[in-house]
Amino acid sequence: MQKLDPGKKLAILAAAKSRFYRYGIQKTTMQEIARDVGLSVGTLYLYFKNKDEIILCCTQAFNDEHRQFANAILETNQPSDEKLRRYVLQRFRAAKATREGSDHAAEIARTVTQLAPKRIEEETALMLEVITDILQEGCTAGIFYHVEETDVEVFAYAIAYFFPIAGKEPHTPPEEQKLLAVVNWFIHQWKRA
Q: Which residue ranges make up the site for a second copy (CB under 8 A)?
A: 81, 84-85, 88-89, 92-93, 96, 99-100, 135, 138, 143-147, 151, 154-155, 157-171, 173-174, 176, 178-180, 182-184, 186-187, 189-193
Closer to a second copy at the Cβ: 4 or 179?
A: 179
Nearer to a second copy, 6 or 173 (CB): 173
Residues in the chain: 193
Q: How far is the CB of 37 from a second copy (least distance, A)?
A: 34
Give 28's DSSP letter: -
Measured CA to CA, the distance from residue 152 to residue 147 in angstroms comes to 8
Which of 1/187 has CB closer to a second copy?
A: 187
Q: What is the nearest approach in angstroms of a second copy to the Cβ of residue 44?
A: 35
Helices (H), the chain: 6-23, 30-37, 41-47, 51-75, 80-100, 105-115, 119-140, 149-160, 176-191
- CA-CA-CA-CA torsion sign (120, 125, 130, 131): positive
Q: How far is the CB of 81 from a second copy (least distance, A)?
A: 5
Cα angle: 111, vertex 51, 7; to 5 degrees = 120
Phi, psi of 165 (to 5 degrees): -115, 130
Residue closer to a second copy by CB (options 54, 135) is 135
Q: Which is nearer to a second copy, 33 or 131 (CB)?
A: 131
Distance CA 4, CA 51 (A): 18
Q: At closest approach, how far in Å is the CB of 119 from a second copy?
A: 17
Comparing CB distances to a second copy, the nearer of 38 and 79 is 79
Least distance CB 165 / a second copy (angstroms): 7
Provide the minimum distance between the beta carbon of 77 and a second copy in the complex, in angstroms, as a whole number.
18
**Separation CA 23–CA 11 (nearest Å):** 18
Nearest-angstrom CA–CA distance, 130 and 70: 7
